[in-house]
Structure 1
C-alpha cells in the first residue's frame, strides 16, 4: 500500500484522512507492525483506489 500511496503522491496524513483512520494505524500497517482489521484494510484500499480479494483455502 505504501508503494501505491507514493505513486499517487499522497502523504500518510492525507491517506489516513481519506480512510478515516489515524496516521499511526496507517504507519503500522505500512510497516507490518499491526494486525489490521478487515474494515481498516478495506478503507485504506478504497482511499488508494485499490480493491481487495480474499482467497479462502482449506
Structure 2
C-alpha cells in the first residue's frame, strides 16, 4: 500500500523547488540525466518511481530524502527468524 500523502508532499516539494530555481522540467531532466517524462511523473505524484532517478532529481534541486522510523512501524522486527539465538561465541579451549 502506498502512502499517497507522501507522494503528494514530494510532488509539491519538487514543483515548488524547481520553480524557485527558475528551471523547467526539460532543464531538470537534462541536469539529472533522466527523461522529461520521468520528471513530469515525479511532479504528478506517481507512486512507482525509480529511486536512483528520483535521487538524481533531488540532487539537481538541492533537496534531500530522509528516512525515519515511523510511529506505526514494527520497531525493527521483520517477522523473520533465522534460527535459535546463540549467545556470545565461546573461546576455543587449548
Alignment partner for residue 8 of structure 1, among 21, 24, 27? Answer: 21
Moved more, 35-44 or 3-12: 35-44
Q: d(CA) in 2 for partners of 1:21 and 1:4?
A: 18
Alignment partner for residue 20 of structure 1, among 20, 29, 33? Answer: 33
Higher helix proportion (structure 1 or 2): 1
Q: d(CA) in 2 for partners of 1:8 and 1:53?
A: 21
Moved over 6 A (4+): none
Give ranges in structure 2 of 5+ residues lacking alignment. 1-13, 75-94
**How far is 1:34 from its partner?**
4.8
**How many pairs does the alignment contain?**
58
Give ranges in structure 1 of 5+ residues lacking alignment. none
Report what 1:33 is aligned to. Answer: 46
Root-mean-square deviation (CA, aligned residues, Å) is: 1.3
The higher radius of gyration belongs to 2
Q: d(CA) in 2 for partners of 1:50 and 1:33?
A: 18
Q: TM-score, normalised by structure 2?
A: 0.57
